[in-house]
A and B are shown apart, each in its own frame.
Chain A
Amino acid sequence: MSTADSPKRSMRTPLGRVRNLGAAHSGTSDFWRQRLTAVAMTLLMIPVLVIIMMTLGRNQAGAKQILGSLPIAVIMMLFIVASAWHMKIGMQVVIEDYVHNEKLKLTAIMLNNFFSIAVALASIYAILQLSSGV
């Protein structure tokens, strides 16, 4: 524990100190997940770029054949999950920084969650459909 957090100097309540979650009420979990997903996407960037380039100049049948193969489908789904999670956290930070009306802020955060989850699920469903050979 740092000296700034000692009982004499700290502005935090005793309960706040025990919970150790800070002003966001959720500790550093979003901070960690934002970095985790960022590292994941950076590692996946070259494979994803190669996959997208492989589909260039091909028609739907060609694209389906590429995107439907197991390793490529898994790489794409990992990238989509990391992207959706990362952008959900990032947009929430932006909302919390600029939207000060409490009701508007909570509405925006809800819509942000809906959008991120919808985009991720729609993309993953499409990839699964491409893989299933339907």
Chain B
Amino acid sequence: MQVYRWTLTMALSIVHRATGIALYAGTLLLAWWLIAAASGPAAYAHVQAFTGSIIGRLIVFGYTWALMHHMLSGIRHFVWDLGYGFKANEREALTWGAAIGGIVLTVLIWIIAYAIGGGR
């Protein structure tokens, strides 16, 4: 691997896989939340205690970023599947767009979440 000069598209390809694997494990959190909501107030309070803690918030924040990044990076792959965006400048623009867009969307979602009272 050392013979390759690392490019942004190569790095983002790995990040796409890594975020996919993280989201795979993260579905346990989604399932836990839904099962707790169906189980009753005590179980739901446990989930809220976890997602309200510092660690919980960091994990959910990471999960949000992984989801947004994977989605935008996936749209980029979809554009390539359709046969567009293969010129060097288009390739770079799509990749930067996914990388920056993922961070922007994550921050935006959390600002909205806090604004409507999720921070309590």
The answer, yes or no, to whether B49 is at the interface (CB within 8 Å) is no
Question: Mask for B106-120, Cβ within 8 A of A = 1, else 0?
Answer: 000100110011101
Q: Is the Cβ of A42 less than 8 Å from the Cβ of B75?
A: yes
B34 is contacted by which of A39, A42, A126 (Cβ under 8 Å)? A126
Name the prevailing secondary structure of the A interface residues: helix
The answer, yes or no, to whether A87 is at the interface (CB within 8 Å) is yes
The answer, yes or no, to whether A16 is at the interface (CB within 8 Å) is no
Report A56-76 residues with CB < 8 Å from chain B CB: 56-57, 59-61, 63-64, 67, 76
Q: Is the Cβ of B71 less than 8 Å from the Cβ of A84?
A: no
The answer, yes or no, to whether A91 is at the interface (CB within 8 Å) is yes
A53 neighbours in B (Cβ, 8 Å):
112-113, 116, 118
Q: Is the Cβ of B71 less than 8 Å from the Cβ of A91?
A: no
B75 neighbours in A (Cβ, 8 Å):
42
B44 neighbours in A (Cβ, 8 Å):
59-60, 63
Q: List 14 A-B contacts (CB under 8 A).
A: A39-B78, A42-B71, A42-B74, A59-B45, A60-B37, A60-B40, A64-B38, A80-B30, A84-B27, A87-B20, A87-B27, A91-B21, A122-B34, A123-B30
Chain B interface (Cβ < 8 Å from any Cβ of A): 17, 20-21, 23-24, 27-28, 30-31, 34-38, 40-41, 43-45, 71, 74-75, 78, 81, 109, 112-113, 116-118, 120
